């Protein structure tokens, strides 16, 4: 009998892979961006001073930094006096970025050196060069470098941008400014591979793709290029075949060579080499790179892995990110996972983290707990890396005061460059009111051609929706829909092409999930019963406080006649049905304090008209299965009949400066605000485990919150608390309570048979 379930292989489509595919798509297929005017190089009046610009300093992404001006053979800065967003716009446009996002005064990116070339700058925003803006005059300033201005430019580059060099010498001081970069596969064997790992390095300048002369090209240059495209390392390649190809087809070279140190996260931070004479590469050939992909992205088993990856116990991990290669940085120290404080956190350190984890260089070094707050200790502060460390744990940091002055509000994070796998092109949302919602439509191969179709809505859950939102780069799932009659999708895509989808929630593509394969089974059909999703850029993250559980545990013998309400709600063991009214049940009682450390409020899945009234608690419960309480033997076997506790969700307390938004009284709105926590006290009915029938011994106590993944969270791995406990028949001791996954694998192994809330196939 043929197995119904199968894991499908990734469709290998020949999609054009360029740097643009590394940016998140701003609009879905039905929401195209407006066309932009083609760029024309500026023609400056003869009396305008010739300057060049760059973004320098302590960056957290490549398109931001301290504004530096090259004039008369010397780099200098710009003062923040009278500076406005209009001046920032002129600077960003001059550097080839589409627009300015913001600007920062008071040397946010560190103090510069040399002259302060511009002060009291007044721009209208339409000038072609900063030198055309009104100012005190070039070199006339009463500022100090503590007033150096910085800007943040958009990721998007100006279409058709062409680098214009106004200098006759000192060009090796200039950063590289081009519209786009790509690795173009040349050999037939690499054209069919996804991701593209080997080929010509080409830059787009003036709207045309051009090769780079390999004169003075180094492995450090290759390291930077591979890092930009999501690869942690590079390797040697067969030079003979590329020389033969270059002789057959005359290359079109860019006017300059390139110099990188290997520490750069992006080509724009490298400097120009020498100018090619007549745009020819006399004895050389076009630059070729051959990159080593991370294990998760490798098309086939490849050599060179041992050089690119650490095989032993990982010392670094990412948590709380919406997509692969993004998250809060956590490091393992003394057997316990902790976070990194964002003091001095920059692209250099972030790139070390990304490469260590099998990704490329860092797109952005995140600060301020932007991807949610961690738990446990802050292990590292003021991290300083050279850029060539194998692990961020090898970088220097504040040894004496690891976490003094740091809180989890300052947790550092990263966004890494990952290879372009073409996943976004095989999935779309159709019919929604905005690009973040709609009916799910997938591209599959049928009878030798690619067709769009729907996914069967039967059994569609939050886990599957999370994968869809991740695949499209739209963040987290906020809702999963089994019917989409209100979202009319493409008429020619109504047919069901995928059914029985079951995801673990961690896959990069919906095609990686378990599903029926070619043997479709969807009784209701597609159309109005097709699966749909709505996505959100943020998500909540619930974390149970283990110390509160440990500190509030005690035993109570309670007579059965006082437990009738709890008995009706199935909060007691099954043997309680035969217990006389005056006989006691022994209850293991404790408090639960559940924090929301995420980026958005935790709200119940069902609407308030479907909430259930509970006589025991005298309020409405918005989630019937919110927690699981279990007592297990040391080998993981249940020894006490745990139960599924329902909750009314409200803000019991909040961090300083945060206002409560949810309360259970008077049929109020339910949820847990970011920065607040919901406390279910030990003296509330059903806040216990019935251990009447448990014999004395050593056990493991386990609590799991949001166990059925009904509500999307940024991290499910921290939804479990485990404790060791000893029961002597009269007293109970609770100790070693901790969040699942907060300790090293060796420590977790001392809790055999336990789940650690890693999402698994259901």
Q: Residue 504's domain is classified under what CATH number?
A: 3.10.250.10
CA distance 592 to 448: 56
As a whole number, the mean pLDDT across the chain is 84
Annotated binding residue at 628?
no
Mean pLDDT of 537-564: 92
315 is in an annotated binding site: no
Residue 259 resides in a domain? yes
- In-domain check, residue 32: no
Q: What are phi and psi of 53, to 5 degrees?
A: -120, 160
Residue 474 lies in a domain: yes
Angle between helices 219-228 and 347-356 (to 10 degrees): 80
State the pairing for strand pair 116-118/100-104: unpaired
Task: Say yes or no to pLDDT of 31 above 50.
Answer: no
Per-residue pLDDT reduced to its tens digit, 246-257:
888 888 889 888
**pLDDT surpassing 50 at residue 640:** yes
pLDDT tens-place string over residues 341-371: 999 899 999 999 999 999 999 999 999 888 8
Alpha carbon distances (Å) from 498 to 383, 427, 757: 47, 12, 28
Give the number of other Cβ atoms within 10 Å of residue 487's Cβ.
Answer: 20
383 contacts 349 by C-beta, under 8 angstroms: yes
> Within this chain, do residues 722 and 580 fall inside the same structural domain, yes or no?
yes
Provide the pLDDT for residue 530: 92
Cα–Cα nearest to 183, from 195, 174, 171: 195
DSSP 8-state class, residue 88:
H
Are both 315 and 387 inside the same structural domain?
Answer: yes
Q: Which of 286-290, 401-405, 521-525, 664-668 has the least mean pLDDT?
A: 401-405
Q: How many structural domains comprise the chain?
A: 5
Range of the domain at 610: 542-748
Say whether 151 sits in a helix, a strand or coil.
strand
610 assigned ligand-binding residue: no
Q: Which two tokens stand for residue 323?
A: 């997509």
How many other C-beta atoms are found inside a 10 Å radius of the C-beta of residue 405? 11
Q: Where are the beta strands (DSSP E) in 144-279?
A: 150-153, 180-184, 198-205, 208-211, 233-234, 256-259, 271-275
CB 608 within 8 A of CB 678: no
Question: Is 44's pLDDT higher than 80?
Answer: yes
Specify the pTM.
0.84
Tokens of 234: 């590079």
Rounded CA separation 282/252 (Å): 13
Measured CA to CA, the distance from residue 347 to residue 361 in angstroms comes to 8
458 is in an annotated binding site: no
- Asked whether residue 4 carries a pLDDT value surpassing 50, the answer given is no
**So what's the pLDDT on residue 616?**
64
- Tokens at 638, concatenated: 């249940």
Report the C-alpha gap between 542 and 147 in whole angstroms.
Answer: 42
Tens-digit pLDDT profile for residues 426-452: 999 999 899 999 999 999 988 888 899
Please indicate if the annotation marks 619 as binding a ligand.
yes
Residue with more model confidence, 620 or 102: 102
Do 587 and 722 fall within a single domain?
A: yes
List C-alpha distances in Å: 734 to 338, 425, 588, 599, 729.
23, 52, 11, 32, 14
Same domain, 550 and 657: yes
Strands 256-259 and 271-275, sheet pairing: antiparallel
Q: Over pLDDT 70: what percentage of the chain?
A: 87
Which is nearest to 680 in space by CA: 652, 660, 661, 708? 652
The band of 331, judged by pLDDT with boundaries at 50, 70 and 90, is: very high
110 closest CA partner among 162, 58, 154, 169: 58
Secondary structure class of 578 (helix, strand, coil): helix
The pLDDT assigned to 618 comes to 67
Q: How many residues does the chain have?
A: 762
In a domain, 317, yes or no: yes
Strand partners, 738: 722
Boundary-marking domain end, from 507, 536, 565: 536
125 vs 88: CA distance, rounded Å: 8
Return the DSSP state at 743. Answer: B
In DSSP terms, 474 is beta-bridged to none
Residue 684 has pLDDT above 60, yes or no: yes
Tokens at 362, concatenated: 């860092």
715 is in an annotated binding site: yes
Specify whether 716 is located in the same domain as 583: yes
With beta carbons less than 8 A apart as the criterion, state whether 515 and 483 touch.
no
349 and 484, same structural domain?
Answer: no
Q: Kindly state whether residues 592 and 689 are assigned to the same domain.
A: yes
Q: Is 713 annotated as a binding residue?
A: yes
What pLDDT shows up at residue 39? Answer: 66
Domain assignment of residue 63, yes or no: yes
Among 297, 332, 355, the domain boundary falls at: 297
Q: Report the pLDDT averaged over residues 172-195.
A: 85
In a domain, 109, yes or no: yes
Question: Which whole number is the average pLDDT over 463-473?
Answer: 94
Distance CA 522, CA 511 (A): 17
Query: Which pair of structure tokens corresponds to residue 516?
Result: 């029926």
Q: In this model, does residue 489 exceed pLDDT 90? A: no
CB 589 within 8 A of CB 682: yes
Indicate if 593 and 461 belong to the same structural domain: no
Within-domain flag for 1: no
**Is 431 strand, coil or helix?**
strand
263 and 401 belong to one structural domain: no
Give the residue, 78 or 489, on which the prediction is more confident: 78
Last residue within a domain, chosen from 483, 506, 536: 536
Is 384 found in the same domain as 288?
no
Closest to 238 in 3D by CA, of 188, 288, 202: 288
Shared domain check, 438 and 519? yes
The number of C-alpha atoms within 13 Å of 21 and in the hemisphere containing its C-beta is: 20
pLDDT of residue 167: 63
- Residue 61 pLDDT greater than 60, yes or no: yes
Residues 474 and 407 in one domain: no
- Asked if residue 555 is part of any domain, the answer here is yes
How far apart are the C-alpha atoms of 511 and 12, rounded to whole Å? Answer: 12
């Amino acid at each position: 009998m043929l197995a119904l379930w199968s894991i499908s292989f990734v469709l290998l489509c020949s999609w054009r892979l360029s740097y643009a595919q590394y940016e998140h798509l701003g609009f879905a297929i039905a929401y195209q961006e407006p066309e932009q005017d083609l760029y024309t190089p500026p023609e400056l009046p003869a009396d305008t001073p010739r300057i060049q610009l760059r973004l320098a300093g302590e960056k957290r992404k490549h398109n931001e930094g301290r504004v530096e001006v090259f004039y008369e053979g010397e780099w200098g800065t710009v003062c923040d006096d009278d500076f406005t967003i209009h001046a920032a716009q002129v600077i960003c446009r001059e550097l080839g970025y589409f627009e300015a996002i913001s600007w920062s005064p008071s040397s946010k990116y560190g103090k510069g050196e040399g002259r302060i070339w511009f002060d009291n700058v007044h721009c209208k925003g339409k000038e072609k060069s900063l030198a055309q803006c009104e100012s005190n005059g070039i070199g006339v300033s009463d500022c100090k470098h503590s007033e150096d201005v910085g800007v943040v430019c958009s990721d998007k580059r100006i279409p058709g941008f062409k680098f214009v060099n106004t200098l006759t010498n000192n060009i090796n001081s200039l950063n590289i400014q081009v519209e786009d970069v790509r690795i173009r596969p040349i050999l037939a064997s690499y054209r069919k591979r996804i991701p593209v790992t080997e080929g010509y390095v080409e830059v787009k300048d003036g709207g045309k793709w051009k090769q780079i002369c390999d004169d003075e090209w180094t492995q450090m240059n290759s390291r930077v290029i591979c890092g930009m495209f999501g690869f942690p390392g590079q390797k040697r390649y067969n030079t003979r075949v590329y020389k033969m190809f270059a002789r057959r087809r005359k290359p079109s070279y860019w006017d300059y060579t390139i110099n990188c140190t290997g520490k750069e996260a992006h080509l724009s931070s490298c400097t120009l080499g020498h100018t090619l004479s007549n745009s020819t590469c006399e004895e050389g050939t076009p630059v070729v790179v051959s990159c080593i992909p991370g294990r998760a992205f490798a098309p086939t088993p490849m050599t060179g892995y041992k050089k690119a990856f650490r095989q032993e116990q990982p010392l670094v991990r990412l948590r709380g990110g919406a997509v692969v290669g993004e998250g809060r940085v956590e490091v393992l120290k003394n057997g316990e996972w902790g976070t990194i404080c964002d003091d001095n956190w920059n692209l250099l350190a972030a790139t070390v983290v990304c490469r260590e984890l099998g990704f490329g260089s860092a797109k952005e070094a995140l600060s301020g707990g932007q991807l949610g707050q961690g738990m446990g200790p802050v292990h590292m502060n003021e991290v300083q890396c050279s850029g060539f460390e194998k692990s961020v744990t090898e970088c220097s940091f504040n040894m004496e005061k690891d976490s003094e002055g740091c809180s989890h509000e300052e947790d550092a994070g990263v966004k890494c460059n990952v290879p372009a796998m073409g996943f976004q092109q095989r999935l779309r949302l159709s019919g929604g009111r905005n690009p973040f919602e709609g009916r799910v439509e997938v591209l599959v191969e049928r009878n030798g051609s690619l067709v769009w179709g729907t996914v069967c809505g039967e059994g569609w859950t939050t886990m599957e929706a999370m994968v869809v939102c991740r695949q499209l780069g739209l963040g987290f799932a906020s809702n999963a829909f089994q019917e989409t009659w209100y979202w009319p999708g493409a008429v020619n895509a109504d047919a069901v092409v995928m059914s029985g989808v079951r995801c673990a929630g961690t896959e990069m593509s919906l095609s990686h999930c378990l599903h029926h394969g070619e043997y479709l089974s969807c009784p209701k059909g597609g159309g109005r019963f097709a699966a749909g999703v709505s996505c959100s850029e943020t998500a909540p993250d619930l974390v149970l406080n283990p110390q509160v559980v440990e500190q509030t545990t005690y035993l109570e013998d309670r007579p059965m006649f006082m437990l009738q309400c709890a008995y009706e709600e199935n909060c007691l063991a099954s043997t309680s049905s035969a217990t006389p009214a005056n006989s006691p049940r022994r209850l293991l009682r404790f408090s639960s304090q559940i924090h929301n450390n995420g980026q958005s409020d935790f709200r119940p899945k069902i609407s308030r008209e479907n909430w259930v009234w509970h006589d025991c608690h005298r309020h409405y419960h918005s989630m019937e299965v919110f927690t699981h309480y279990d007592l297990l033997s040391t080998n993981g076997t249940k020894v006490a009949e745990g139960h599924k506790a329902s909750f009314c969700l409200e803000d019991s307390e909040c961090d300083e400066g945060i206002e409560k938004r949810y309360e259970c009284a008077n049929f109020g709105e339910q949820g847990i605000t970011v920065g607040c926590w919901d406390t279910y006290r030990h003296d509330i009915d059903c806040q216990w485990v019935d251990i009447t029938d448990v014999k004395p011994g050593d056990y493991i106590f386990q609590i799991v919150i949001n166990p059925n993944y009904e509500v999307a969270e940024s991290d499910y791995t921290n939804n479990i608390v485990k404790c060791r406990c000893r029961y002597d028949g009269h007293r109970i001791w609770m100790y070693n309570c901790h969040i699942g996954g907060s300790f090293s694998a060796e420590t977790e192994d001392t809790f055999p048979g336990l789940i650690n809330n890693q999402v698994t196939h259901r």
